[in-house]
Amino acid sequence: MLVSSTLRAVLLAVCVSLAWSDTPANCLYEDIRGTWTFQETERSGDSSLSCDELGPVVHTKTFTLSFPNNVMDEFGNEGTWTMIYNQGFEVNINERSYFAFSYYEGDFTSSTSYCDRTFSGWSRDKTVRNWSCFSAQKNTKTTPRVSRKIATPLSTRAFKNDLKMVEEINSSQTSWQAKVYPLHEKYSVEEMFLRGGGPGSVLPNPPSPAPATPEQKTRVSFLPENFDWRDVEGVNYVSAVRDQASCGSCYTFASMAQLEARLRMVTRNQRQDVFSTQDAVSCSVLSQGCMGGFAYLIAGRYAVDQGVVAEECNPYTALDDPCDTDTSCARTYVSEYEYVGGYYGACNEELMLQALVEKGPLPVGYMVYDDFYNYGGGIYHHTGFKNDFNPLEVTSHAVLLVGYGVDNATGEKYWTCKNSWGADWGEDGFFRIRRGSNECSIESMAFDATVIP
């Protein structure tokens, strides 16, 4: 679709102002745990149900969310629940699945989260039919949480490499090498921040990995010392590296990269689809478009609810364009999804190793600091050096975990991940990062999904 540059500018201005008022919440586990009343509309809708407004309530349910991921209704029926980062929560009980974003007011520079209530959310049964809208209110009040996700207004001036920082990184340690990327200077400071995850993905309280059980440790001891889905006995199951450009769409690149790899695995490379990342940016009510989003909600819930389409059905523009996916395109669905370990907060290195080898590549979240943008190769760890020209807020970036290993010379353990910053960045578009010490929270938020071939 050709859009005149004036129209595009107008659209962009509208989208940006909408997105800025559309500020995700910052809710903690303790805010959400407890007894809730769910008010639900008639279960007669289909997957096109917008739930912008709740509508007439016909079901009222009481759900008690308790540690670690148990839900019980007023009759004693049991189910499961999970937080989705600090943004909202999903409840699965009585053959139905409920998801809503936590309520907030304000914008990224100053917002108040009302974690004891939700926006209007979506509910449907396990077979993805009988849709309804609902909103949830906790039976006990939580104190409104005031937060500031970004401290400095995002600047539209050009991003600048900090040569001094690159030299400091290089001379202070030998695990990894930093590099000047002249290509980054075509982006503004704001756009670089969006590449790293964007304001919608700022995560002030990343979870800690769960302690490994003796059983988990034993299972891991049977796994190979080095493993990589790009070369399993000579066969590659990982699709090509892409570039998200100036949009905070890492979550959909990591999501589609997972589904692409999983599809290659289950079809023995007969299907080598490249899925549309723009579709999730523009068409999913579960993402914040170019402002950020979460693999759980895209490779998981969205891929179950709506399915994903081939790249040509909505080619990538890196803009918050209106939804323009070709509706005649076939959709590919996911059957099951979960955070590694079963819920947000249950992840650890052992579970990730096992899920990676036994099930396939996994989207992971981790914290992106200034030094990471200049990663050139080696095994990354955060050095603490800052880019003095344009220090960026720490945000959570999503990438696809494809392998792990141990450095032959130093014995340092690492993960191998596929980034979405083009094939010229890092190690042919991939990077390695220290493993076993939750470096930048990388061992705390892995995600698993099963694709239907």
Ligand X SMILES: *[C@@H]1O[C@H](CO)[C@@H](O)[C@H](O)[C@H]1NC(C)=O
Measured distance between the N- and C-terminal CA atoms of the chain, rounded to whole angstroms:
30
The Cα 288–Cα 194 span in angstroms is: 12
E strands, 208-361, are 227-228, 334-339
Q: Applying CB under 6 A, which part among 24-32, 175-183, 297-305, 356-364 lies near ligand X?
A: 175-183
Active-site residue, 387 included: no
Among 95, 167, 388, 424, binds ligand X (CB under 6 A): 167
Q: Is 177 in the site for ligand X (CB under 6 A)?
A: yes
Site for ligand X in 16-45 (CB under 6 A): 43-44
Tokens coding 248: 């905070």
Helix (H) or strand (E) holding 103: strand 96-107
Closest CB to ligand X among residues 328, 408: 408
Tell me how crowded residue 391 is: count the other CB atoms within 10 A of its CB.
15
Site for ligand X in 125-144 (CB under 6 A): 129-130
Q: Is 178 in the site for ligand X (CB under 6 A)?
A: yes
Closest CB to ligand X among residues 228, 311: 228
User: Least distance (Å) from ligand X to the CB of residue 327?
Assistant: 19
Q: What are phi and psi of 322, to 5 degrees?
A: -65, 155
* Catalytic entry in 374, 397, 417, 438: 397
User: Least distance (Å) from ligand X to the CB of residue 169?
Assistant: 7
Closest CB to ligand X among residues 173, 205: 173
Q: Is 175 in the site for ligand X (CB under 6 A)?
A: no
User: Least distance (Å) from ligand X to the CB of residue 222?
Assistant: 18
Distances (CA, A) of 434 to 100, 196, 352, 368, 443: 34, 19, 14, 14, 10
User: Torsion angle of alpha carbons 34, 40, 43, 46, nearest 10°?
Assistant: -90
Site for ligand X in 420-449 (CB under 6 A): none
User: Least distance (Å) from ligand X to the CB of residue 210?
Assistant: 30
User: Least distance (Å) from ligand X to the CB of residue 118?
Assistant: 23
Active-site residue, 397 included: yes
Contacts for 228-237: CB closer than 8 Å, 24+ residues apart: 228/402, 228/403, 228/404, 228/405, 228/416, 229/261, 229/265, 229/356, 229/360, 229/361, 229/402, 229/403, 230/402, 230/403, 235/269, 237/261, 237/264, 237/265, 237/269, 237/360, 237/361
Closest CB to ligand X among residues 32, 166: 166
Query: What's the chain's length in residues?
Result: 453
What residues pair up with 61 in beta bridges, in sequence order?
38
Sorted by sequence, the CB contacts under 8 Å of residue 123 that are 6+ apart come out as 40, 43, 96, 97, 98, 99, 131, 132, 133, 134
Q: Is 170 in the site for ligand X (CB under 6 A)?
A: yes
Closest CB to ligand X among residues 6, 408: 408
Closest CB to ligand X among residues 78, 95: 95
Closest CB to ligand X among residues 179, 382: 179
Q: Is 179 in the site for ligand X (CB under 6 A)?
A: yes
- 3 state SS for 418-453: ECCECCCCCECCEEEEECCCCHHHCCCCCEEEEECC
Site for ligand X in 296-325 (CB under 6 A): none
Q: Is 6 in the site for ligand X (CB under 6 A)?
A: no
Helices (H), 25-71: 29-32
* Catalytic entry in 51, 250, 417, 440: 250
Active-site residue, 184 included: no
Q: Applying CB under 6 A, which part among 174-182, 197-205, 384-392, 440-448 lies near ligand X?
A: 174-182
Tell me how crowded residue 326 is: count the other CB atoms within 10 A of its CB.
12
* Catalytic entry in 133, 419, 438, 440: 419
Number of residues that bind ligand X (CB under 6 A): 13
Among 15, 27, 91, 166, binds ligand X (CB under 6 A): 166
Interacting residue ranges for ligand X, rule: CB under 6 A: 43-44, 129-130, 163, 166-167, 170, 177-179, 376, 408
Which active-site residues does the annotation give? 250, 397, 419
